[in-house]
Chains A and B, each alone.
Chain A
Amino acid sequence: MRICRNRKAVSSMIGGIIVLTLFLSALSVMVFISQQYDSYQSTVETMNRKDIDAFSENLAPVYPGLYFNSNQTETQGTCNPYCYQYVLYISNDAAMGTQITRIYINSTDTRPYSQGAAGQAVGCGNLCSFDSSSAPQPFHFLASSAFVNPSEFSHQLIFYTNNTYTLPCSQACGAYGLNSVAIVTSRGRVFSFQWPFAPTGVATVSYLTTGILQIAYLGSGNPGYASTNEPAAVSRGSGGTSVAGIYCHSEPNATKIATGSAYGTLWFVNPWATWTIFKDAFPLTGANHTQFFAVVKVTNNQGGPIVITRGNMWLQLTVPQTQNNPAPGSMVILTVGGPLVGTYYNGAFTFAGSQTTVASLTSVLLVYRINIWSWVGNTQISQVPSGVTFSGMATMTNDQEGGGTTAYFSGTSILDGLYVKSGC
């Protein structure tokens, strides 16, 4: 009997052990699976967090974008005999720090940094890339300046070219957008901008603002751009002799508008601004044509109208264009040409004397509209069917303010833009 009772106890114990073993085995498997899942989830969350961090980065260039001074050279490190030093100004609009790992600069122009400085005409036409370096080194930036703190404004990142490379327009040649700058961060984001920045206001006397867009021109100065190569397509700035701080066309027949009487030549240069109010004010009629409008600023109303009395070539003024009693301070818009087809380059105009005056030293702004055409350089590459109109703007992808007809448009659309001035 005792033996029987003992056997019953053994079986119970064995059963218990088996149950316990099964339980522990299941538990260990559950723990293992749980750990694996946790590891997976942890990795997913880590990478998601990295993605969010990357998307949160927000660098923005601030004026002047890049700064260069020919006297600002560096002789330390491997800069032998010296490197030119540039400063990149950027702001961090994000709430987290950003590490810059590389900078790319591609120049669309290889003119000297200052047009009057011969022998320096080497831009980054073949793409320059700047990596991090602890000491000054050609085509590197200082690692100590590569981190931009959260919300830091106007951070200065220092980088170097060698002693022959200078970026075009480094010293205020008056052009803009000649260098494409791309800033790469350690999280894989790329922030780019065109430098020098496009002007957002008029340098001297006035500016026009329409909606979100400011239309501006560069004012007086010592124009150095010779237009003798035009109307053949030329690169922006080529053929120039010297420029002191600004860019504008130097037209032999152009005069500053000092009184109510003025004359000059309006030139067809590349569009670089849009002015959509003209679409409403002067509806396009028909297809395949260009309309031009002259814009002047009124300073004094002497009881007479603003009149353009004569034009030739594409201006085609057979009837004086008049606007009566413009108010002082207002901008007067006069149709001066069109509808025309094709490329038109320049034409003379005259503002009648003894009439309402326009702002002293004000240049005449010519606003154009092109309907239908699509261009590469001065070559028509496509034409939409007659009667078809488009809305929206064409995309400017190259040489946004060049001389001549080197503008590169993609797509077909109505272009509204600011064109020409005389009397720079």
Chain B
Amino acid sequence: MQERFTVENTFFNTTGTNRRLLIFVRNVGAEEANIVAIYVNGVNFGTTGSGGTCNVPVTIPVKNACEFNVNFQSLSPSPKTGDTLYVIVASARGNRATYTVRIYIPGT
């Protein structure tokens, strides 16, 4: 009930063949948030690679933010500019924050 977290920003890191999405999650509730899963278009990717400050599962203290680095290259069909990514960040208590973002990949 006192758990509140939001996806406050996203950023594409699509250099070369990279297809990574940085997801910034902030705990704005009154209790720590235990993030256990991140879904992109229904697929639980977890977090991979460098560039992020957190990997799931992770506990975000109150008022703090985490940066997750999600590699969505394996999405099928292959993601391209204009596609929509529907991101769900889920906590152990069953709460979730959602975010919708459109892909922009230079050259695609």
Contact = CB atoms under 8 A, between A and B. Distances in A.
A127 B51 CA distance: 12
Interface string A123-156: 0001101000000000000000000000000000
A188 B82 contact: no
Given A47-B2, A47-B29, A50-B30, 18 more contacts: A47-B1, A54-B28, A104-B8, A104-B9, A104-B11, A104-B24, A127-B22, A182-B8, A186-B28, A187-B28, A188-B4, A188-B5, A188-B26, A190-B8, A381-B82, A397-B102, A397-B104, A398-B104
A45 B102 CA distance: 36
B6 interface: yes
Interface of B: 1-2, 4-6, 8-9, 11, 13, 22, 24, 26, 28-30, 63, 65, 81-82, 102, 104
Given A101-B63, A127-B22, A184-B8, A376 B28 contact: no
A101 B9 CA distance: 13
A214 interface: no
Contacts, number: 55
Nearest to A54: B28
B4 A190 contact: no
A381 B83 CA distance: 13
Interface in A20-50: 43-44, 46-47, 50
Nearest to B13: A126
A184 B4 CA distance: 15
Interface of A: 43-44, 46-47, 50, 54, 101-102, 104, 106, 126-127, 129, 182, 184, 186-188, 190, 376, 381, 397-398, 408, 410
Task: Please indicate which of the listed interface residues B2, B28, B63 has the most CB atoms of chain A within 10 Å of its own CB.
Answer: B28
Nearest to A106: B11
A397 B81 CA distance: 11
Contacts of B2: 43, 47
Contacts of A101: 26, 63, 65
Contact of B9 (A43, A184, A397, A410): A184
